[in-house]
Amino acid sequence: MSRRSSRLQAKQQPQPSQTDSPQETQIIQAKKRKTAQDVKKRKEEKVIKKHQYEIREIYAPKLQEFAYVTDGACSEEDILRMELIILKLLDLCILAIDSLEFQYRILAAAALCHFTSLEVVKKASGLEWDNISECVDWMVPFVSTVKSTSPVKLKVFKKISMEDRHNIQTHTNYLAMLDEVNYMNTFRKGGQLSPVCNGGIMTPPKSTEKPPGKR
């Protein structure tokens, strides 16, 4: 047998390794298990955070979370009441054909400006006063009409439980409210349906004052 073949056989044979004690073996195995568990835990945490972000994008935060953030300044009922008023204002505004002159975000920002402040509108929409001033002024009669109209009361049915009361629909007479807005606009703009005669009672001219050829 050549030296080369003997060297190959020597390499292929398992080398005698220093045997670890049972305690060291257990420690090594425990570290491996802990490392595997830590890796698995990190992966699960990443998946959970990803799902939380996706849920936040799909589902709006709960109402009680908004009330908690205000630190008692607003209750859940106050938030719902103000939300309904703003939505009713927007519903009334989009019934007017003049609303087509404004973008939806301008309408929403102007409605929010009437019930909050300009600083809040800037933070929420990123719009400046120059962007919404015209729409805010146009919305004044709509706001007055909505504030003067009493809210529609939700009917109570014995057969419907409290959990299903949100399915009960209410009806608001928006056409009558729109007529009131148009009536207010006639005074705001100073417009009149027909010109007023400033010459008193109109009388025909005398026969001697008629132009020639028409006697």
Instruction: Annotate 123-158 with DSSP letters as a single string.
Output: HHH---HHHHHHHHHHTHHHHHHHHHSPPPPPP--T
Q: Give dist(CA 187, CA 110) in Å, integer.
A: 22
Q: What angle do CA 185, 114, 136 make, to 5 degrees?
A: 50
- Quick one: pLDDT at residue 38? 81
Check residue 199 and give its pLDDT.
43
Domains of the chain with bracketed CATH: 75-151+171-188 (1.10.472.10)
Residue 187 phi/psi, 5-degree rounding, is: -85, -35
Distances (CA, A) of 215 to 25, 45, 207, 208: 132, 102, 7, 8
- Could you tell me the pTM of the whole model? 0.54
* Per-residue CA distances from 86 to 9, 115, 138, 201 (Å): 88, 8, 16, 50
Cα 97 to Cα 95: distance, rounded to the nearest angstrom: 6
In Å, how far from its chain's centre is CA 98? 23
pLDDT at 112: 92
Give the pLDDT confidence score for residue 102 in this predicted structure.
94
* pLDDT by position in tens, the chain (length 215): 555 555 555 555 555 455 557 777 778 777 877 787 887 888 777 766 665 555 556 666 777 887 887 777 888 888 888 888 898 999 999 999 999 999 999 999 999 999 988 898 999 889 999 999 999 999 999 999 988 887 767 677 778 777 777 677 777 788 888 888 888 888 876 544 444 444 444 455 566 655 555 44
**Helix segments in 59-139, DSSP class H:** 63-69, 76-93, 104-115, 118-125, 129-138
Position 2 scores a pLDDT of 56
